[in-house]
Structure 1
């Protein structure tokens, strides 16, 4: 690929009638085009999209036909930055533009680089898009981007998760690049300081619309309703109070009640059991690796929940900000590669984290404001591709919470999809309560809480966020399932409904058994050997032969992206070594250490490797000619 400063003006992407793009992506692009070209507006453009509607794709689209030069993409945190860069990275075979058929070949792609300590000035100047974390713009950062480029270096700035934009670092950057067009993309219409996001809202795509269009999962909310809840206070187990008595007598406030419920083992047990029941139901007769995502009050609370899930036989992992960076990265890799059943997080995956198999949101902490509550639920909204799904419920996310966590008002607000001004006003009212609650949760784990006792039966009620075609299909599916169960009940009267349901689902999706799976270790080692031979021998030999180069030379080095300079510049690597090391590096980034792979990882890696090699061939073709 050759650098062109006017690349975004000269390119001819397929956007308007592209059936691979989602409705909000096309609408956002059209609104941005009209805003900057037809209206000639100098105001910042604000695009509000719900989680799962394709925000990263919008970032990849809006420069075309609008930006006259380089584009800077700013993200607020590393998790989001990594996701955006990986989605736009031309060296990834499933990068957004090729995956959605916006562009048809590698040579048409823009040059995209991540701003880090290793990028040199030539690579910086020869980039169409630079992606960075906001901290790399800080003047306190020794290698700050602001110290390396002039104020007119970028023609467009795109701010991801723009509700973070009032911070001093953001404002300094926008002031420095004051002539650049600014596009702010967010799922939240208010800033971190609870003021409206500066600029003109050009697109506001509602969550209800996204559900109706089947762009995101539909939602079903489950409330756990124990028949009776008693609290014992001041370490006196002899006196029990009902919640009604606590409230009527003004003994404790609502924060105390919700905190006590959140931290009680009894209530945690009920939420865990219901979330496992939901997970089991989704996984029955399905190969989809549905997962639970849980939110805890504190790290100590998260550790307790992790142990409780593990005691029930589930693979649970806990992610929080105190973890070492390498440990955290490995855990995220384990999630992506389906090596867990439950993800418990503490103020870590609230926004920007994207994994479509998160299908059940288990809430173990009270919330007092809409923003963090909606961000957490947003983690289960990402739609699973229809080619993978077996039944409607695969794309219905489940929210599970205890009634006495006091979350009903937030669910109602979430359902209303209030107008921006109303949301802002509501958030202002809630913000002080939320901050106070979080301080209490961090400080008072298992302190200043009541003992909780439950009595009677547990009832569970549920409701859909909004009726959609998918929820109607699911109702019809469940009605047909009930009819089949009753029919089989007459033939097998001693079988339970649960056993009959499992039997029916298994018949609808029969599995063929591979005889080698009776010796899984032997089979895995066989697959591993074949896979390694492919990466180390067959593929390098294929490319060397196909391009007519000598194995001992280094022709392929020029095709390797600059972010892999440790491969590109290593003189001891010949053509075969360059291919092998590059493929192994990409595979490790995607799936982690091969020593930790299970059988399913090898199957998925085989599919990824096929696309990776096709992309590598295009990269090589763009730099050298075949004989």
Structure 2
């Protein structure tokens, strides 16, 4: 049995993982069980946990080695850091694996890597340029076609279809998984693969997995243009539109020092507001420039306001880039000006303000740069979520980005619909039915998750692990004190303390690992039921936002009363839709506590179809 099939992992039921990660993981498992040589696509918004999903995706799925392909060095470094033994190791920090000895063997593909090290790998990481090239030193030149059982392609929209196709054609028998934040390539062609899961931006904003997002534009009180054909003449916007196209105007605004200065001043004022409200959080501005020359002019504008400003661009050598990244990480700058950099794979949560000094023609590129400011700052660092996790995108009104922004605005509007409250049966039925059935809620309608079912909470492996870690820490601390009193060398004590801690964790792992394997179906059941509820809630909120219907109004209940048994006339609109969806699921699949795991998966998949049905019913 392969490493990924035999290793005990805590994934389903793990309360440290986010719902989008769990749902995507379940879809990945299900898809490759049915399509062992298939090609799948998962779309997760930036900041939702894409690198984490990549880290868990092979477990209980892959029958052999896994190849993770990234588009470039920054993204590769981001994935590497997630899986590093020394950095923020995802498997350990998120309690996926309890025993450090059970972690996979990871190697980065370099041309000089020995075949022995390559063969010992469970995971090989590389960028696309090293997997396939014309120099005879690529990975496909080193290994046979059946070398990998699973290929995970991170952000494949950055490369041309031809480069990916060479890889996929070579490893044709492998499971192929694309994971991306946006489902289009740079050439605006869709990424290949069956789209098995997509999490909306509205859902992750509503759940506070990412920052809130808003747009603020700068509009000059008086905007004049000069053109070569009419030297010395100042033309208004309306006048120049008769002579030039909109693209010319947008480029002129982007490169105008006067227009740029307005955006600079406004973004600096917003940064100063943030620092005044929350001085302990090192918020920063990310600025996107048209070219290196343009970026250098913006550096001067920002520096003139007194802010520490750095520029980073694709033509810098690696040492220079690393030096700038280190300055950013160490909060030695306030403004980062980017030219075709930081587009992907660079995750610095303190980038909160985005100043755009260039037009975008591709929604993919626009979405990627906006994604740089979405990563959430943790609760223990902030003054208030609404202050510190409220990203602002700033640009000039005439730079031509409002049509791009409209795609985000729809998701933002949806996200503002509050999460649906925990309804009980008494919220939905009439007063008469309520009095008759006070002691028999489950008999009236079996569609709702009853408080009488335990939800299998007795298998909370996170809680067990945290309790055991606390106990081990207490024991090792006491032993440390004893050794200090005996006069041991501090360095020796430190080494012994770590050895004792690791040994006790391994001992605990041996105790808990059989349980992890045995309880996988139970954990899957618990997770599926949670995801069904969350998906109904989120899609209902999105629908009400799209139709501009007040979630707490009551106009839908009379219209659905003939479709939903004993629906009270004063049921809130969100509750009416939830009840309708649950009724449909119950009629088709039976009571939720009686459904097996496969039926629960189908229930999860069909919710979107029922939401479309509700939309048709409401629209008539």
Q: Same fold by TM (over 0.5)?
A: yes
2:249 is aligned with 1:257: yes
Q: Retained in 2: the 8 A contact 1:158–1:185?
A: yes
Could you tell me how far apart the structure 1 residues matched to 2:232 and 2:165 are?
Answer: 58
CA distance in 1, matches of 2:191, 2:86: 33
- The answer as to whether partners of 1:221 and 1:464 remain within 8 angstroms in 2 is no
Deviates more, 1:71-80 or 1:141-150: 141-150
Which residue of the partner structure matches residue 11 of structure 2?
15
Q: How far did 1:369 drift? A: 2.7
Cα distance in structure 2, aligned partners of 1:615 and 1:50: 36
Which of 47, 51, 63 does residue 52 from structure 1 map onto? 47
- Equivalent-residue separation in structure 2 for 1:310 and 1:617 (angstroms): 53
CA drift at 1:151:
1.4
- Counterparts of 1:367-386 in structure 2, within 5 Å, are 367-386=360-379
**Other structure's SS at 2:239 match:** helix
* Equivalent position of 1:401 in the other structure: 395
CA distance in 2: counterparts of 1:47 and 1:128, whole angstroms: 22
Match of 1:215 among 209, 214, 225: 209
Question: 1:523-538 residue pairs with structure 2 within 5 A?
Answer: none
Matches within 5 A, 1:461-480: 466-467=415-416
Q: Which residue pairs with 1:293 in the alignment? A: 286
| TM-score of the aligned structures, taking structure 1 as reference length | 0.66
Query: How far apart in 2 are the matches of 1:189 and 1:175?
Result: 21
Cα drift, residue 614 of structure 1:
8.1
SS in 2 for 1:380: coil
State how 1:127-276 maps to structure 2 within 5 Å. 127-164=121-158, 166-234=160-228, 238-247=232-241, 250-276=242-268
Give the counterpart of 2:117 among 120, 123, 130.
Answer: 123
Q: 1:344 to 1:119 in 2, by over 3 A?
A: same
Deviation at 1:372, TM superposition (A): 1.3
**SS of residue paired to 1:201:** strand
Once the two structures are overlaid, the 10-residue window that deviates more, 109-118 or 12-21, is 109-118
Cα RMSD (Å): 2.7
CA distance in structure 1 between the aligned counterparts of 2:418 and 2:254, rounded to whole angstroms: 35
- Given that 2:36 and 2:175 are in contact with CA atoms closer than 8 Å, whether structure 1 keeps it comes out as no
From 77, 87, 98, the counterpart of 2:92: 98
Q: Equivalent residue for 2:359?
A: 366
CA contact (8 A) 2:312 2:321 kept: yes
TM-aligned CA deviation for residue 469 of structure 1: 6.0
What residue in structure 2 maps to residue 566 of structure 1? none
Q: Deviations over 1:188-242 (max 9, x none)?
A: 2123443322221000111111111111111010011222211122286642111
8 Å CA contact 1:164, 1:191 repeated in 2? yes
Indicate conservation of the 8 Å contact 2:160/2:185, yes or no: yes
Q: Is the 8 A contact 1:55 1:185 kept in 2?
A: yes
Q: How far did residue 176 of structure 1 move?
A: 1.6
Deviation at 1:262, TM superposition (A): 1.1
Match of 2:70 in 1: 75
Contact 1:271 1:401 in 2 (8 A): yes
User: Is residue 27 of structure 1 aligned with residue 23 of structure 2?
Assistant: yes
1:221 aligns to what SS in structure 2? Answer: strand
Aligned 8 A contact 2:81 2:87 in 1: no
Cα displacement (A) at 1:138:
2.1
Deviation at 1:415, TM superposition (A): 2.8
Shift of the alpha carbon at 1:111?
1.2
The whole-number CA distance in structure 2 between the counterparts of 1:159 and 1:192 is 15
Match of 1:311 among 304, 307, 312: 304
**Of 302, 313, 317, which aligns to 1:320?**
313
Alpha-carbon distance between aligned partners in 2 of 1:81 and 1:358, rounded to the nearest angstrom: 20
Deviations 1:415-464 (A, max 9, x none): 346xxxxxxxxxxxxxxxxxxxxxxxxxxxxxxxxxxxxxxxxxxxxx97
| Structure 1 residues 482-538: Cα deviation after superposition (integer angstroms, max 9, x where no partner) | xxxxxxxxxxxxxxxxxxxxxxxxxxxxxxxxxxxxxxxxxxxxxxxxxxxxxxx98
Count the aligned residue pairs. 437
Shift in CA distance, 329/141, structure 1 to aligned 2, threshold 3 Å: farther
| Structure 2 residue runs without a partner (length 5+) | 420-487, 510-620
Return the alpha-carbon distance in structure 1 between the equivalents of residues 308 and 133 of structure 2.
Answer: 43
For the residues of structure 2 that align with 1:318 and 1:413, how far apart are their CA atoms?
A: 29
For 2:262 and 2:231, how far apart are their aligned partners in 1? 21
User: Does the CA-based 8 Å contact 2:107-2:123 persist in structure 1?
Assistant: yes
Q: Contact 2:254/2:358 (CA < 8 Å) preserved in 1? A: yes
Query: CA separation in 2, counterparts of 1:102 and 1:375?
Result: 29
Report the CA distance shift for 1:345/1:152 in structure 2 as closer, same or farther (over 3 A). same
Partner of 1:594: none
Asked if 2 retains the 8 angstrom alpha-carbon contact of 1:356 and 1:384, the reply is: yes
Q: Distance in 1 between matches of 2:231 and 2:490?
A: 70
* Counterparts of residues 387-398 of structure 1 (less than 5 Å): 387-391=380-384, 392-398=386-392
Equivalent-residue separation in structure 2 for 1:615 and 1:203 (angstroms): 38
Give the distance between the partners of 1:107 and 1:318, measured in 2 at CA: 42
Is residue 220–residue 465 contact of structure 1 (8 Å, CA) maintained in 2? no
| 3-state secondary structure, aligned to 1:397 | strand
CA distance in 2, matches of 1:141, 1:213: 47
Q: TM-score, normalised by structure 2?
A: 0.66
User: Residue 542 of structure 1: CA displacement?
Assistant: 4.3
Q: Do the aligned residues in 2 keep the contact of 1:219 with 1:466 (CA within 8 Å)?
A: no
Structure 2 CA distance for aligned equivalents of residues 266 and 54 of structure 1? 40
Q: From the superposition, tell whether residues 408 and 93 of structure 1 become closer, same or farther in structure 2 (CA, over 3 Å).
A: closer
Residue of structure 2 equivalent to 1:42: 37
What residue number does 1:302 align with?
295
Secondary structure of the structure 1 residue equivalent to 2:369: helix
Which secondary structure does the structure 2 equivalent of 1:30 belong to?
Answer: helix
